A = this chain, B = another copy of it.
Amino acid sequence: MKNCALDKNSMTILIADDHPLTLYGTQAFVTSLGYKVVHICTDGQEAFEWIVMHQPKMAILDISMPQMDGLEVLEKLHQRGISTRIILFTMHKEATIYKRAKNMGLSGYLLKEGSEDELKLCLETVAQGGKYMSKLILKEVNKHQTSESEELTFAEKKVLELIAQQKTSKQIGDLLFISEKTVEKHRSNIIQKLNLPKEKNILLHWAMKHFIDK
C-alpha cells in the first residue's frame, strides 16, 4: 500500500521564524517526524527568495519577521502561482489577519500557543493535499462573526488600513482621491458594521489591534 503511506522524506520543507530557539525547536520536531527540512531562515526576504528558487513542497512561516512579514511572502508567492504549500505558524490570533491569508491559497494556519500534536496533524494533512486551520483561530473568527456579520467592502478595508497607519480622514481622502466627507462616511459605516461601541477614537483603537502596522 505504497500510495497510502506518506513518503515523508520526499516532503521538503522550509521553516522561517525570527526567533532562533523557536526555529530550532520547530526544526527538531519536524525532522523527528520524518520530514525533510531543506532550509531554515530568520527573515521573510530570504524565505521568499529561497522558495522561489527551490520550490520546496511545504513552508512553515512565522508572520512577524524582519524585512518581509509572512503575509507578504504568502501574497507574493500566490501572485507568482508558486505551488509550495504554505503553513503560517504564528502568534497572531487576530481574525482579520487569518481572513487576509485565507484568500491567498493558504494551506495551514497554526498558533504558537497550540500543541506539538497540532503541528504534526497539520503537516500530515497538508502533505496529503489538505488544509488545516487551527481550532484556536477558527474560534477567534467565530467570535467576530457574530458582531462582524456584515463584511466590509473594498473601500472600507482600504480606509481601515490607513486609519491603522494613523492617517486622519483628510489625509486618507487625499491619498484615495476622495472627499474627506466620504472618508468620514466610510468610518461611520465601518463602526456600524463592526458593531463597535460609541467611543472616541474607537476605530483607531480597533484598527491598531487588528492590523500589523509597518
Tell me if A166 and B199 are in contact (CB < 8 A): yes
CA distance A26 to B20 in the complex (A): 10
Of A125-133, A173-181, A200-208, the stretch lying at the interface with chain B is A200-208
Q: Which of A19, A168, A204, A208 has most B Cβ within 10 Å?
A: A19
Tell me if A112 and B201 are in contact (CB < 8 A): no
Say yes or no: is A49 at the interface (Cβ < 8 Å to chain B). Answer: no
CA distance A93 to B11 in the complex (A): 36
Give residues 29-68 of A contacting B (CB, 8 Å).
29, 42, 64
CA distance A25 to B32 in the complex (A): 13
Q: Which residues of B contact A112 (CB under 8 A)?
A: 18-22
Tell me if B115 and A205 are in contact (CB < 8 A): no
Tell me if B20 and A19 are in contact (CB < 8 A): no
CA distance A64 to B119 in the complex (A): 21
Give residues 190-214 of A contacting B (CB, 8 Å).
199-201, 204-205, 208
With beta carbons under 8 angstroms apart, the residue of B28, B199, B208 that contacts A25 is B28
With beta carbons under 8 angstroms apart, the residue of B21, B26, B119 that contacts A116 is B21
Q: Which residues of B contact A205 (CB under 8 A)?
A: 166, 204, 208
Tell me if A19 and B91 are in contact (CB < 8 A): yes
A residues with CB within 8 A of B: 18-22, 24-26, 28-29, 42, 64, 91, 112-116, 119, 166, 168, 199-201, 204-205, 208
A/B interface sample: 25 pairs, CB < 8 A? A18-B112, A18-B113, A19-B22, A19-B91, A20-B112, A20-B114, A20-B115, A21-B25, A21-B26, A21-B29, A21-B112, A22-B25, A22-B112, A24-B25, A24-B29, A24-B116, A25-B25, A25-B28, A42-B113, A166-B205, A168-B200, A201-B204, A204-B204, A204-B205, A205-B208
